[in-house]
Amino acid sequence: MSELTFGIQGEFTVSVIGPDGQVKESSTTKNLILDNLLEAIRAKSDASSIYYSTQTFRVGTGTTPPAASDLTLQSTLASRAVSSTPTQMAITSDGTTWRTESTTQTDFSVGAVVGNITELGWFVAGMKPNTLTNEVYSRTLIKDSQGNPTTLTVTSTDVLRVSYKLVMTGPDADVTGTLTLAGNSYNYTIRRPTPSVVAVWAFLDGSSASGNAAYVGGTFGAAGQNPSGGTQLTATVLFEQGASAGERRFTITVPTNVNGSAGISMILLGNYMKIQFSPAVPKTTDDALKLLVNYTIART
């Protein structure tokens, strides 16, 4: 079926907080999503998730602009593991593109960072199979309000606060196409169902879906709504590794013991997406219906 593309971007905010609790200096800078993250998305197993993986912020003194192939900071000064769960925002939409954010924040305690800092990195451990060490997934130079590289000075009495906002976007307009099954052509429409923020982030790294169903009859519904009515049948979803960086794929299966001879009109994939077929796809208990869907996570 048609390949879908979703966007990912990130933004660091770093603040120097004095002994009186007031912000002395602050910088908000968009970062570069690195090749490491896109490769981890391609290679990861269902058992791991960026949402539950160990995350670490590192600050440094390097001045080399970020490159997609970076494997670490240029010069690390200090690091701090993040123990809190990311704060996730509800999905919003402008009618064409949906958007959601996940923000993680941590404080480097007094004295943990002393000196001038110029670069930031977001490191994640355990997302890629057989890789428990921290890998850098995004890096940026600290910049001023004009977008120029700058320096923040942290003294021995200051707290350094770092937050990282990861943004994911996807198409809210219908994605359409045609597929061929047993020599017959079927038009399909892919649309967003009832939004689930957790499900969207699981979709980012290809975690297993729940709440899947095939439908005989029923109403497809607008974007942001689940299918309704009709007869629900069993369907399963299996995520698989992609062929290239940032790519994931999954197989939707309606098994042989499920009778959809009246025609499968729709499939719901948890809170990820819903698919409508026209005409409906006939299926008996003698065969299984399997659909392979590719999707890509790309820098935006």
Q: Where are the alpha helices (DSSP H) in 82-222?
A: 197-205
List the domain range (segments joined by +) for residue 211. 172-299
Domain end: 170, 203, 218, which one? 170
Looking at the fold, whether 126 and 181 belong to one and the same domain comes out as no
Q: Is 177 helix (H, G, I), strand (E, B) or coil?
A: strand
What is the spatial distance between Cα 92 and Cα 211, in angstroms, rounded to a whole number? 22
Do 165 and 247 lie in one domain? The reply is no
Question: Do 45 and 111 belong together in one domain?
Answer: yes
pLDDT > 90 fraction of the chain, expressed in percent and rounded: 54
Residues 160 and 192 in one domain: no
The pLDDT tens digits of the residues spanning 2-12 come to 678 889 999 99
Q: Report how many domains make up the chain.
A: 2
The answer to whether residues 157 and 182 belong to one domain is no
Q: CB-side exposure of 116: number of CA atoms within 13 Å? A: 8
Please report the beta strands in 39-174, taking only residues with DSSP state E, as ranges in sequence order: 54-60, 76-82, 87-88, 92-93, 97-108, 115-117, 119-125, 134-141, 152-154, 159-171
pLDDT digits (tens, 9 = 90+) for 127-149: 665 555 788 999 999 999 999 99
pLDDT of residue 227: 93
Whether 125 and 210 map to the same domain: the answer is no
- Choosing from 170, 198, 229, the residue where a domain stops is 170
For residues 299 and 33, is the Cβ–Cβ distance under 8 A?
A: yes
**Phi, psi torsion values for 269, nearest 5 degrees:** -105, 85
Distance set, CA 291 to CA 42, 73, 221, 228, 249 (Å): 19, 42, 22, 22, 10
Centre a 10 Å sphere on the Cβ of residue 84 and count the other Cβ atoms it contains.
Answer: 9
Please tell me the predicted confidence (pLDDT) of residue 11: 96
Determine contact, residues 68/139, Cβ cutoff 8 Å. no
Same structural domain for residues 205 and 119?
no
269 shares a domain with 220: yes
| pLDDT tier, 16 (very low <50, low <70, confident <90, very high otherwise) | very high
Same domain assignment for residues 185 and 105: no
Q: What is the pLDDT of residues 142-199, one digit of tens each?
A: 999 999 999 999 999 999 999 999 998 888 889 999 999 889 999 999 998 876 666 6
* Band of residue 87 on the pLDDT scale cut at 50, 70, 90: confident
